[in-house]
Structure formats: structure tokens, C-alpha cells
Structure 1
Amino acid sequence: MIQQFLITILVIIGICSCNTNTKTEKATPIVKKQQPEIDIASAVIYEVNIRQYSPEGTFKKFTDDIPKLKELGVKVLWLMPIYPISKTKSKGTLGSYYAVSNYKAVNPEFGTENDLKELIKTAKSSGMYVILDWVANHTGWDHHWIKEHPEYYTKDANDNITHTPDTDWTDVADLNYDNKGLRTAMFEAMQYWVKNYDIDGFRCDVAGMVPTDFWKSTISNLRKEKPLFMLAEAWEPELQEAGFDMGYSWDTHHLFNEIAQSKKTTTDLKKHLKNLDTLYNGDHIVMNFITNHDENSWNGTVTERMGDAATTMLALAYFVDGMPLIYSGQEYGLNKRLRFFEKDTIPKIKGDTWKLLASLSKIKNENKALHITNTTSNLTILDDNAYSSVLTLQRTTDSNEIIYISNLSKKPVSITPAFQGTFLNAFTDKEMVIKKDTVLQLSPWQYYILIKKT
């Protein structure tokens, strides 16, 4: 259990929101709910696909690489489900990680309990949290509750247990949260990992499909054991009100894809960023991403979905309010769809993507204007309405101003920037002077991150 907080915990919480005035807000660190004792102000979260991370697909092989991830600013490790997988009605050769057959055991394909504990120990010594993927909406058909507690499950008119309605998830059995016994059993299963493995929280699969009141009571009771970081696979603000610390910025992600595919415009993105102010409160965090396990396997690689716009969107995901996500293999420029129900593997050669992620993390760490805060948003959309494809964002604190400007289109554009001053190019450290009459040429999908000189 994490020791009582005898030091000031710089856990900084923010929102993914935006305003259109230029008022500077001070980035004030806060303690929200009960958090583990690391500073997440500039943190990156890393999604760990143990099965596909290495040819061996083991905890040990991933543990070897944990220190390397510090180069990318990773402070939260999200382990995709590490539990035994149901074989009954399973899909493919190996089945889905999300068809859990035992909530209190380790998948032997990945290694032993001690291997997992060593992974957690290594991560903590590297200054990282470890959160487990939790599948509360359904179980695999081999789960012992099927026989021991059929009352825990949703049933059809003939009293047969069913898979989750309105889905093709035939490999899982739907859980019924009208049953109080299920709620208690689910809480106890989550508590098992907190007590026995000292994990730092959970990423909760399809959290919006589980009753919000269950999450509210369960998260509150889990936090009696120790501080926890809770991520909901959902965008709904009410889940953060119920105790989750962070949710998915799905709409932002979808807009990134649609703009890259010329289906939406910069105007749509600006409207969305402004609208986020009405959705989230000041202590909400959103997770920004250009890929994850679902996107990669089912909707396409970053290159397939975003093409030449990929690096521009990646930089934007680091610039807007929230916490950026890296999915296993993304750091190595993964350019294939990982098979979901079969063994696969990722490339392990550092290249341009690794360098870019390291640079973006360094920029985020060193510029407090990009840190997650509990204030109203310090992000401003600068007035560049004269250019339909140009996005100019400004984030400020009392002592730090940073600009993101990009051409979100396939055509070059010549503009007069909506800001002036002397700046440093965040990637090259070269000085750029922007005057009232400066004309800036932007190639297709070109972007700059500029730090105001003081």
C-alpha cells in the first residue's frame, strides 16, 4: 500500500477543453480524489499488449524494456487483460483477452504470478504506475460463475445466459448488474489485485455499459485500500463524476481521422474543442490518441487511417489538453494491423517515430503551459478564420507561452500568422521572429510548435 502522503503530491488534473479568449490561467497543481504519488502533469500513458509485444509474448520480455519507455515520458503502464482466456466459444486460435475465465489468476501464456510482480516492481522503480485492464461488462463462457452463479448473468426469454445484446461478442457472456451478489463479487475481484499486487488502478473496458452507480461505490471502496488512478473506456463526463480520473477523447480521435481523410475540416475541429468546455469540469482528464488496440486491429494502422497527416495529428494529441497515449509498437512505427485472436509481434527498431515521441514528451515536460491542470482551460484558438485549413492554438501560463500552428489539408497554404513575437522552434531550437507582416508558407500537413521567448 502506498504510504501516507507526507510530501506534497504533485498530481495534476486537467480537462480537454478550450476557450476563445486570451486570458492567461495559472497552471496550479492539485490533488484530485486519491491518486498515486507521482506527478502526472506531463505524463504519457502506454498501452501494453503483452501477447504481441515480443516474439515470446511474456511479462519478462516486456519488463526488460520498461526502462526504455522513460525516454518517451511514460508514467502510466496500462496492461491489457492479463487473465486466463476462456476457450468455450472463443474466437481464433488464442481467443480474446476480453473473454476472461478467471478474474483472480494470471494467464500462463504470459508467465507466472512472480513474473507479473517483477514487472510491477520494475515499473514502480522506474517511476510509473501500473493499471490493469478490467472487464466488468462480461466474462468468458468458461468462467466459474457460469455454473456457480448463473444468476449473475443476463438471460433470454428461455432462461438461457446470453452474450451482450446488440453486439457480435458471441465469445462472452453478459453480466447482470441488477444482481447484488454480482456487484459484491466484482468488487472483491478488483480488490484482490489492489491488495495482493499493489496495482495503481484500472482501465475499465466499455465502462459506459456498466451502471454508473456500481462504479461510484466500487471506486470509492477500492480507494479505502490505497490511492488509485482510474481510466474509463468511455467519453461520458458522468463517469468521471462517479470517480474515474480519465476518459477517452473518442470524438477528438474521430475528427483526427476524418480531417486526415478530408471528410471533416479544421472548422469542425475548432467547434469541437470549444464544445468540450460544456462537457467536462475542471478536474476531468481526457486521453488523446491516434491509435490503440481496437483502432489498430479493426479500423487500420495509423498510416491507413491518416496517411501523411499522421505526425501532424500525433503532435496535436500532445498539444491539446489531456494525456497522450502510446500503443505497443506505435513507438517503433508499427505499420501493420496486429492480429487480435492470434499470435503476432511488433517491430523493435527505433526510428523516426521514436525520435518524434521522445521530442514531444520533452516539449510537454519542459513547458508548463502543456501540463494538465485543475484550472479552466489555458488553451486558446487564435483567430485564423481567414484560412479554412489552418489551426492555430495557444497555451499559456504566467511564464510560458507555446503555439501549435498547422496546415490540416493536402494543399499548401500561405498565411499571415494570428500571433507575433520571437519564438524558438521546439524541435530545432532555432529562433523564429513573427511580425505583423510575416508571411508563413505551410506545406500540406506541415506544423510548428513554437515556444515564446521571454
Structure 2
Amino acid sequence: MNVGSSLRIYEINTRLYRRRFADITESELVTLAKSGFDAIWLMGVWQVSEASTKISRIIESDYEGSPFAVPLYELSSELGGREEYEALRKRVNSAGMAVILDFVSNHVALDSPWIDSNPEWFIRADCSVRPQSVSEYHLHRSGELIAFGRDPFFPPWVDTAQLDYTSTALRSHMIGVLMRIASLADGVRCDMAMLLMRDYIRRQWYPGLPDSIFEARMDREFWSEAITRVKSAHPGFLFIAEAYWSSEPSLIEMGFDYCYEKELYDGMVARDVQVIQGRLSRDSSALQKSLYFIENHDELRAANLFEPATNLAAAAMILALPGAVLIHEGQMSGKKERVPVQRVIPLIYEEPDRELEDSYLRLLKCTESEPFKSGEFVLLNAEQSGLVIFLRRKNENVVVYVGAASLSGVSLAEAAVDLTSAVSASGGGVHIVTNLLTGETCVVTTHEGRFIVHIGRLVKAESKFCLFQIAVL
């Protein structure tokens, strides 16, 4: 897989609508590929735990367990098993796209046979090395008190058992699991990847253990070793980290190809231009290693967070950035119901928003050109409040994004953007400016040494963004 260029990933909740691998047709996949997607993330392909299913029904009677409570990494029989999966992978690859699967690295299901065979692979109750609460552990049938899997900022995931990466044997086994996944797919999305970092494991699970003992047990980062070994055997295999807490630079250093860009997402949701500009001010290598999104299975639906014009403005921004973009199933058609991963049948039927979907497809198409794939990225100063402005440039091909990113500030149609620096290489003069989404054009002439584009000449009053190309007339 070509890492470093513009990568578009489409997330499919594989269990939704009780479909099977065989139900994802060649026609659907070809359409996605022609729309500009490079990879399909098949979320939830592993056999779901029986214990997770039972526990989930404490909450809702129609829940069918979490696909992130994995007992063993076996392809789901309900989805069609290995044979149907292999046929689906062949269809995806034949359409010119890659397949990405989940690796739930931090924990396994409560009923995983690994607890019986290898209890030392798990965090077990030990008040000599950490503060503990009864609610954080469960009594396994073997008699072992095993910690639930968890993120320290949220309650434990009570259908999971916490793995202990200070175990050399566990680390070796999990690298073997990754090797097997690499034989089944083209990439992996690593769930909550920062929970495996040594500093975190030390703080969360072994604060009372002497440094020398901890260092002897875990003398290296799991991800560095695992990624090196897997890529040695499968050079094109892609590693994506679900990552938070500003852990992205460390994970990239360990070998990840892309990390979630949650802080930019939070800035867009909050309409905080300062946060957005701060994230876009990072160096180009950090931007290129980012996976941008405005929706995924964990977050609220974009159509609930943004009205249509702002939805498109946010989507256009991330599609115009260097790096990778994730689009969630149903996002382009304006779905509003956020379906929990435990539910396989939505509660409501929603008519697709065809106008929104058509705009998304045009955005995907118009951001396929070379400036977006490999062009220079330049964040520009916005003289008017509330705007985010940047350009992508490949030789003489210049494209500019202007977005109204805050609830206050100037309206987009009133914005006047000084792009003198963008056209200086062409010697100024007369240029034609084209709105890539609508095809609307206007002629702009350098006046008194300045090249100023009045955005209202290119967009309607209600528009929240403009993505336009500048060319010498």
C-alpha cells in the first residue's frame, strides 16, 4: 500500500443489517473504488464472545455483543467464516482497494480460552503493585482475579479481560496474532494503541513495582518490535493507531503509518478556529501521518453535529489535507442514528440525503488531483476572524481551501482573501479562479501588487467553504 500519499478509507460496520461477507458485492466495491476510496476497513469481522453477548443484553435485549471483546482471532461464522471472507478480500483487492481489519490489542473477551491456558498473560489482582477496587476485577472460573480491560478515564469494559504486556510470552503471542492478520489483510487498525505504551503500563498497572524489575520485564516498546517484525515479513502492511492523549508522535516514532487526529476533530466540533489552526500548524510529516475524520463508529454522526453546509465544509477540509481520511458508512448520505457496536439492526429507517451524498462524491472526485496527493501544504494567515485558509501546490497547480470554521466571525460570502504569495511565482497578472465543487468561475487581476479573491463571487450566501483552483488566464 502506498503510504504517505492521500489515502481514503471507508469504514464498514460489517455486522450491520445482519449481512454476511458475501452480501458485500463486487458492484458496491467497484463504486467505492471509483468514488476515490483506497481501502475498506471491515470493522467487526472477528467471532464475537458469547459472554459479551450475554453481558450486552443486560443493557438492551437486542444487543449482540461487542466486536471489540474478541475471545480468539477467528473470522465470524455468522458473517460467513474464512471461505466467504477470502472471497470478499479478493473482490476488494480486484476493485483496486486494500482490506483493513481490527487488532484489539489491549484486552480480550472474558471467556477467552487464553485465561485458562495462560493466566500469566493477564493483569491479576496484586495490591502490592497498584491501588485496586473490587469493581475493577472479576473472579474467573479458574479462581484467578482478572482485571477488566480499561481506559483509565472511563469505567472498565466489563466484557473484557486486561492483557499484561510485561509478559514476554504474551508479547510474542500477540506478534504472532498480528502476523496471522497480515496474512489475511493489507492493514490493521489497532484499537486504543496508546494503552500498550510502556510509560502508560508502568503508571496504570505497576506503579508500585521497582524500576529495575519493571525494566527487566518490559525492556522495549511492544509496538516497535511488533511493527518491525510484521513489516519485515509483509513490507506493504499498513498500521493505523487509534490514539489519544497526544500520544501520536510517540506511536509514529514506533512505526505506525497513521494515527487518529482526534484533536483536530474536537476543534471542528467546538468550532474553535485557534485549535484547528494549531493542529494544521504542525510540520508536514505530522500532517502526512494523520488519519482525519469527522465521524466513525465511536463518535456522534456528523449529520447530528453539523448542519449540511458545515458538514461539507468539514469534510472538504480533511479531504484537502495531506494524510489519510476516514469516511464512515452512512456519513455521506446523512445518517443520524449512531448505532452502538453491539447492535446489528438500526432502530430507525432513514432516507438517504441524496443532495449531501452527491456533494460528498464531488468532493472526493475534485480532491483526487496531484496537489492533494503530493503537493506542498501551506497554512495561510486569515486576516478576517473565523476563517481557516490553506493551499496545496504542485508546481504551477495551486488549490486553495477557505472555510468559515467558527460560529462567529465573517461570513464566507463576505470574505476577501489575499493570495498574493500564491500567485507570485506566475508573476501576478490575470488569473481564472474556479470553484472545484460547483464549477463557478471568476477572473481575478492583480491590483497594486496584491491578488485578492472575493469569495462571494464563487459561492452562495449560505456556503461555509470554498475549494478553488487558481490558473493563469
What pairs with 1:283-302 in structure 2 (closer than 5 Å)? Answer: 284-295=288-299, 300-302=300-302
Answer whether contact 1:410 1:445 (CA < 8 A) is retained: no
Match of 2:394 among 393, 397, 401: 397
SS in structure 1 at match of 2:417: coil
Answer whether contact 1:382 1:418 (CA < 8 A) is retained: no
Task: Determine whether 1:210 maps to 2:196.
Answer: yes
CA shift, 1:128, in A, is 0.8
Task: Determine whether 1:78 maps to 2:41.
Answer: yes
Q: d(CA) in 2 for partners of 1:221 and 1:267?
A: 40
* TM-score (norm. length: structure 2): 0.78
Answer whether contact 2:290 2:324 (CA < 8 A) is retained: yes
Answer whether contact 2:14 2:42 (CA < 8 A) is retained: yes
* Aligned equivalent of 1:356: 359
Unaligned runs of 5+ in 2: 58-62, 128-143, 199-220, 421-430, 446-450
Change (3 A) 1:438 1:287: closer
Change (3 A) 1:56 1:171: closer
SS in structure 2 at match of 1:238: helix
Amino acid across the alignment from 1:380: V
Answer whether contact 1:177 1:211 (CA < 8 A) is retained: no
Change (3 A) 1:348 1:80: farther
Amino acid across the alignment from 1:225: A
Answer whether contact 2:418 2:453 (CA < 8 A) is retained: no
* Aligned equivalent of 2:13: 49
TM-superposition CA deviations, 1:377-422 (whole Å, max 9, x none): x22232322x111222111121310011122344635232212642
Amino acid across the alignment from 2:322: D
Q: d(CA) in 2 for partners of 1:282 and 1:250?
A: 13
Q: d(CA) in 2 for partners of 1:283 and 1:410?
A: 25
What pairs with 1:265-284 in structure 2 (closer than 5 Å)? Answer: 266-274=273-281, 276-277=282-283, 281=285, 284=288
TM-superposition CA deviations, 1:61-85 (whole Å, max 9, x none): 1244212211321111112131111
Task: Determine whether 1:407 maps to 2:409.
Answer: no
Q: d(CA) in 2 for partners of 1:238 and 1:438?
A: 40
SS in structure 2 at match of 1:224: helix
TM-superposition CA deviations, 1:307-342 (whole Å, max 9, x none): 352111111111122211111111322121113212
Match of 1:161 among 146, 159, 166: 146
Change (3 A) 1:171 1:12: closer
Amino acid across the alignment from 1:43: L
CA shift, 1:352, in A, is 2.3
Q: d(CA) in 2 for partners of 1:305 and 1:125?
A: 36
Amino acid across the alignment from 1:271: G
Answer whether contact 1:292 1:326 (CA < 8 A) is retained: yes
CA shift, 1:358, in A, is 1.9
CA shift, 1:161, in A, is 0.5
Greater displacement, 135-144 / 219-228: 219-228
Change (3 A) 1:146 1:114: same
Q: d(CA) in 2 for partners of 1:268 and 1:184?
A: 40
SS in structure 2 at match of 1:188: helix
Amino acid across the alignment from 2:433: F
Q: d(CA) in 2 for partners of 1:244 and 1:271?
A: 22
SS in structure 2 at match of 1:223: helix
Amino acid across the alignment from 2:372: L
* Aligned equivalent of 2:205: none
CA shift, 1:438, in A, is 5.7
Task: Determine whether 1:425 maps to 2:427.
Answer: no
Answer whether contact 2:15 2:44 (CA < 8 A) is retained: no
Task: Determine whether 1:100 maps to 2:91.
Answer: no
Match of 1:185 among 162, 167, 173: 173
Amino acid across the alignment from 2:437: F
Amino acid across the alignment from 2:69: A
SS in structure 1 at match of 2:18: coil
Larger radius of gyration: 2
* Aligned equivalent of 1:59: 21
* Aligned equivalent of 1:371: 373
Amino acid across the alignment from 1:171: D
Q: d(CA) in 2 for partners of 1:448 and 1:171?
A: 46
CA shift, 1:134, in A, is 0.5
Q: d(CA) in 1 for partners of 2:455 and 2:252?
A: 41
Change (3 A) 1:96 1:407: same
Amino acid across the alignment from 2:398: E
Q: d(CA) in 1 for partners of 2:452 and 2:84?
A: 61
CA shift, 1:440, in A, is 3.8
* Aligned equivalent of 1:4: none
Q: d(CA) in 2 for partners of 1:372 and 1:256?
A: 24
* TM-score (norm. length: structure 1): 0.81
Change (3 A) 1:348 1:161: same
TM-superposition CA deviations, 1:90-146 (whole Å, max 9, x none): 32331111000111x111221121110011000111111112110010000111101
* Aligned equivalent of 1:16: none
Task: Determine whether 1:447 maps to 2:465.
Answer: yes
Q: d(CA) in 2 for partners of 1:99 and 1:339?
A: 14
Q: Structure 1 stretches (4+) deviating beyond 6 angstroms?
A: none
Match of 1:124 among 93, 98, 101: 93
Answer whether contact 1:410 1:444 (CA < 8 A) is retained: no
Answer whether contact 2:280 2:287 (CA < 8 A) is retained: no
Unaligned runs of 5+ in 1: 1-8, 14-40
CA shift, 1:437, in A, is 6.4
Tell me how many residue pairs correspond in the alignment.
Answer: 395
What value does the CA root-mean-square deviation take over the aligned residues?
A: 2.3
Amino acid across the alignment from 1:248: Y
Answer whether contact 2:10 2:327 (CA < 8 A) is retained: yes
Greater displacement, 349-358 / 333-342: 349-358
Change (3 A) 1:133 1:267: same
Answer whether contact 2:107 2:160 (CA < 8 A) is retained: yes
Task: Determine whether 1:219 maps to 2:221.
Answer: no
